[in-house]
Amino acid sequence: MNYLEELNDKQLEAVVHVDGPCLVLAGAGSGKTKVLTTRIARLIDYGIPSYNILAITFTNKAAKEMKDRLEKLVPGNYAFVGTFHSLGVRILRENADVIGYDKNYSIIDSDDALSIIKKIMKEKVYSSNDITPSYVRNKISSIKNDMLTDEEIDKYYSSGSDSIIKDVYHEYQSVLRKNNSVDFDDLLLLPVKMFMEHKDILESYQDKFKYILVDEYQDTNEVQYKLSKLLAGKYKNIFVVGDPDQSIYMFRGANFRNILNFERDYKNAKVIPLEENYRSTNNILEAANSVIKNNKERKDKKLWSSKGEGTKIKYLRAYDGKHEIQLVLDEIKKLNNDGYDYNDMSVLYRTNAQARIVEEMFLKSNVPYRVVGSYYFYNRKEIKDLICYLRLILNKDDEISLTRVINVPKRGIGEATIKKLEETARDNNTSLFDAISKGKELAFKELILELIKDSEELSLTDLIEEILSKSGIRDEYEANKSLENELRLDNLEEFKSITKTFEERTGSISLEDFLEEVSLVADISEHQEESDSVTLMTMHSAKGLEFKVVFLVGMEDGIFPHQNSFFEAQGLEEERRLCYVGITRAKERLYISNAKRRMLYGKDVINPPSRFIKEIDDNLLEVENKNMFEEEKIDKKKYYTDDDVEFRDGDVIEHDVYGKGVIVSVNGDIITVAFNKSYGIKKLLKNYKGITKV
């Protein structure tokens, strides 16, 4: 058993524990996977048959890593190492007939579930304007994961659109039954129900899996918690590993109180804290400790390392969002010159909406990067849809854009309708847009014509708002309250920052010029991903990863912690745990940054520094302020005047970019100017300082 020699005292204490409940509070970077796999090997060497051992993880990747490590320690073992869902599949396969299913039942994925729900809603004549099918699907998933009874469903889903959810849920369950099918949530719910109703079957599995190990216990939801508790009910040999300070998936139904209440569930539980961190320097760990200690609902532990103090945490204060990322890029280039690979570095942000300015600045600086867990801003579906609306407004004969958005959001216009339109257009030698004359597609045509009129009178930023409102795109995403759709809404709102910045920089509200600039930026984005590149991702995506250098950007109240968390202590504590996760990704160097002001969702906002920065001990920070005002920035007073300038049709003006031009129309704050052939006709804001009368 040479593998025991590699363990520290607390790891060894956990590994040699055999009988009875045990909670291992495994801090970030403390070697929890090593403890889990080594304990399984130790149990087998101790004389426990490997087929009596069950190890449950959350992801297939984690399960594979554990299996590979275990196979090296104990070749040919029969321990069950897998996800909660793979365990559920096995239990159901072995007992399908007990709960009224054939053994050859089908497992449907989330797309199949959505299709069934759409069909049910169509048959029951429920409008997706009232409630979207994907929202119903998510609610049905919550009902199952929270293990609600029929009485509780009646209680919580009794009025308004909620009653639709209840109705569709019961019909959905009936359809699954008839088709001998289960969904992913059933893979956990059905075994739990079966165990509760058939004590003999439960006892047979309790005798089979006498030793149970659960990874990432802080991330368990109600049904996962119940399943593991039932299986461990007879012998109480349950060994759970987790860190309540790293519970960041409340929005997915995870209940971190499951780990906090472990000692209440198992009275004689042994608790072993793993506080030695093998990843980070002590300055980084002290910062993490000083932040997380402010949470009230937690188990006390303090991370430490034998790697020495390391460098202080560098705090970059910037003038605005663009300046902030420039400061980050300057540091990245210095580190690269000092011998760090780009692969060693990561930039973490709270929301995907922040990614746009980060990616844009990286592109312009020629620093190679990769985006994890998301697409390049302009390649995201919702942004492509919005740009296609803009292209169609500019050119209603753009058939590529038309076919993309004619059914976005869904209007009941299918491929058959589009094919008929294409035939009509071909027969009449006209454009697809002009071929539209009836049906739901006519309403879409009228919408585009209305938006074309709007574009002649509104700024680009106001036009974006009209598209989001009148098209129904915003309503569709708001109706379905999923995390994915919240991110999409964030991105659409953030697009206003692009138009606003363009207007302020150029004084132009020309849709043609704007789309030309966007096309160039988006085209640059078709870069080949280089092997040595900086990683950009959200903090949620970074859990489980580590980098030599980490930059936490946008550290401002309202961004991080997110403004949605201000209304309840539980939300703020989850944000603080997310901050703890972000800090502990760094091995050698940690940077935190914020800006005095930034453009977000099309608005110039001023946020105070994040409260989490104030929670870090001052002696751990090195504050960088000297370059704050050196970055070129947009200053409204520099570019715009508050004077009410009088312009009339026929006035000759001089523009600082386009040269001389003649005003052809004045509409409120907007003037339309004819310039020479190179620039053509432009719409401009009349109070732009770059314009003077000749």
Instruction: Give the catalytic positions in this structure.
Output: 32-33, 215-216, 246, 585
| Rounded alpha-carbon distances, angstroms, from residue 342 to 466, 532, 544 | 41, 5, 19
Q: Is 296 helix (H, G, I), strand (E, B) or coil?
A: coil
Angle between helices 483-506 and 355-365 (to 10 degrees): 50
The DSSP string of 506-559 is: H-B--HHHHHHHHHHHHHHT-PPPPSS-EEEEETTTTTT--EEEEEE---BTBT
Angle between helices 186-197 and 199-208 (to 10 degrees): 110
Q: What element of type H or E holds 24?
A: strand 22-26
Q: How far apart are the C-alpha atoms of 46 and 656, rounded to whole Å?
A: 82
Q: How far apart are the C-alpha atoms of 658 and 200, rounded to whole Å?
A: 84
Q: Give the single-character DSSP code of 459.
A: -
| Rounded alpha-carbon distances, angstroms, from residue 635 to 34, 360, 364, 493, 669 | 54, 20, 21, 22, 19
Q: How far apart are the C-alpha atoms of 649 and 21, rounded to whole Å?
A: 84
Instruction: Measure the CA angle with vertex 588, ends 586 and 589; round to 5°.
Output: 75
- How many C-beta neighbours within 10 Å does residue 515 have? 18
Residue 576's nearest CA partner among 169, 199, 298, 173 is: 298
Residue type, 574: E
Contact call for residues 25 and 60 (beta carbons, < 8 A): no
Q: How far apart are the C-alpha atoms of 689 and 643, rounded to whole Å?
A: 10
Q: How far apart are the C-alpha atoms of 294 and 630, rounded to whole Å?
A: 36
Q: How far apart are the C-alpha atoms of 95 and 191, rounded to whole Å?
A: 9
| Rounded alpha-carbon distances, angstroms, from residue 258 to 228, 264, 435, 514 | 11, 10, 61, 52
Q: How far apart are the C-alpha atoms of 221 and 504, rounded to whole Å?
A: 48
Tokens 């314009």 correspond to 691
Q: Which residues contact 582 (CB under 8 A, 6 or more apart)?
A: 348, 539, 542, 550, 552
**The 3-state secondary structure of 209-266, one letter per residue:** CCEEEECCHHHCCHHHHHHHHHHCCCCCCEEEEECHHHCCCHHHCCCCHHHHCHHHHC
Q: Which residues contact 287 (CB under 8 A, 6 or more apart)?
A: 313, 583, 590, 616, 617, 620
Query: Could you tell me whether strands 534-538 and 670-674 are parallel, antiparallel, or unpaired per DSSP bridges?
Result: unpaired
Continuous H helices in 273-320: 282-292
Residue 189's nearest CA partner among 224, 218, 162 is: 224
Contact call for residues 674 and 681 (beta carbons, < 8 A): yes
Query: With 0-12 CB in 10 A as exposed, 13-18 as middle and 19+ as buried, what is 7?
Result: middle
Contact call for residues 417 and 439 (beta carbons, < 8 A): yes
